[in-house]
Amino acid sequence: MENAGLDHLKSRLILGPSKVSRAIQSFTQPPETNQGRRHASTDTVPTRNASILANLSDNPGAHQKRIRVGRGPSSGKGKTSGRGHKGQKQHGKVRPWFQGGQTPLIFQRGRLGFENLRAPVMAEVNLDKLQEWIDAGRIDPTKQITPKELHQSNLVGTIKDGIKLLGRGADALKQPIDIIVSRASASAIESVERAGGKIMTRYYTKQAIKRLVEGKSVNTDMPLPTGPEHVGPVLKKVRQKGFFYRLPDPTSRWDIEYYRDPAHRGYLSHMLKPGESPSLYFKVPPAQLAKQAKKKKAQKEETKLWDKL
């Protein structure tokens, strides 16, 4: 009876060989339980349908439609292709900054602003970052902090022309520090001295900083000695320690005036006499000029009295 049913099924189904075999298996095998289905689902590996190859396409907007010019008036780009009739704008291109033949405004008014390509490039260090390095134990605040310590602690990476101390996070500074940098802002100087510390700006060149980091120079806050009576003792000390490169002093007028200024805490500020200016062109007025200035001031006061009357 069972074989007759299978023959009847084969005669009624118009299927391929594989589909017929699957139908026979489903007819003869007992139904699976839920437990068997659960085990079977864990053993099988899901496969991606091959029909995905027919659905692959670019994202919307990946390709823009090409504009075909010169193909009739209905496109809006026919005949002259949207360039108009004759002239420079149709036949070729207008060079940049062309203003129709008039004198360019950049020649009349000039360029706005100025970029100094020779300005020194300073590596910037803020007070909050410096305090973070001190709290982490990467910098010792009890010792003098020089560009060597700032570079070896990785607080500063590449040093081109020097290091400048900035005042961001001024309230974060907890302890007094003794630091020497190339330059410092007014807010940074105020914050360091308010905490009881000491700050000094010193002139460094690119080569001097490199030798200082490599240990070929010794950092000092004093300029090079001048005169035989001062050079002798210094040379004697240096020869006992071995060979070290001496740190250079500034030679340009701008650098000398910067490090002579007490407001910048320059290491050359001790060279100024009381009442003098950091400018190299500063001269104390002679007594005769001082008398003339005093006389002119008195005459102005007299004319003010007559004007009031």
Residue 292 falls inside a structural domain: no
Burial class (CB within 10 angstroms; exposed 0-12, middle 13-18, buried 19+) of 203: buried
CB-count exposure of residue 270 (10 Å: 0-12, 13-18, 19+): exposed
> C-alpha 112: how far from its chain's center?
24
Task: Provide the pLDDT for residue 291.
Answer: 82
Can you give the residue range of the structural domain that contains 196? 122-222+241-271
Inside any domain, residue 283: no
CA distance 118 to 161: 11
Token pair for residue 95? Answer: 């060079």
- In the chain, the number of structural domains is 1
The pLDDT score that the predictor gives to residue 93 is: 87
Pairing of strands 183-184, 163-166: parallel
* Contact of 268 with 260, CB cutoff 8 Å: yes
- Residue 252 tokens read as 């340009």
Residue 111 in any domain: the answer is no
Q: What is the pLDDT of residue 51?
A: 75
- Structural domain contains residue 23: no
Asked if 94 and 85 count as a contact pair (C-beta separation under 8 A), the reply is no
Rg (CA), the chain: 43
Low-confidence ranges of the chain (pLDDT < 70): 1-50, 224-225, 284-285, 304-309
Q: Is the pTM of this model over 0.75?
A: no
Q: In this structure, is residue 115 part of a structural domain?
A: no
Position 186 in a domain? yes
Q: What is the CATH number of the domain that holds 199?
A: 3.100.10.10
Predicted confidence at residue 287, as pLDDT, reads 74
> What pLDDT does residue 20 have?
46
CA-closest candidate to residue 181, choices 99, 126, 252: 126
Q: Is residue 25 part of a domain?
A: no
Instruction: Report the DSSP beta bridge partners of residue 200.
Output: 180
SS3 readout for the chain: CHHHHHHHHHHHCCCCHHHHHHHHHHHHCCCCCHHHHHHHHHHCCCCCCHHHHHHCCCCCCCCCCCCCCCCCHHHCCCCCCCCCCCCHHHHCCCCCCCCCCCCCHHHHHCCCCCCCCCCCCCEEEEHHHHHHHHHCCCCCCCCCECHHHHHHCCCCCCCCCCEEEECCCHHHCCCCCEEEECEECHHHHHHHHHCCCEEEECCCCHHHHHHHHHCCECCCCCCCCCCHHHHHHHHHHHHHHCCCECCCCCCCHHHHHHHHCHHHCECCHHHCCCCCCCCCCCCCCCHHHHHHHHHHHHHHHHHHHHHHC
For residue 134, tell me if it sits in a domain.
Answer: yes
* Cα atoms found within 13 Å of the Cα of residue 161, Cβ hemisphere only: 8
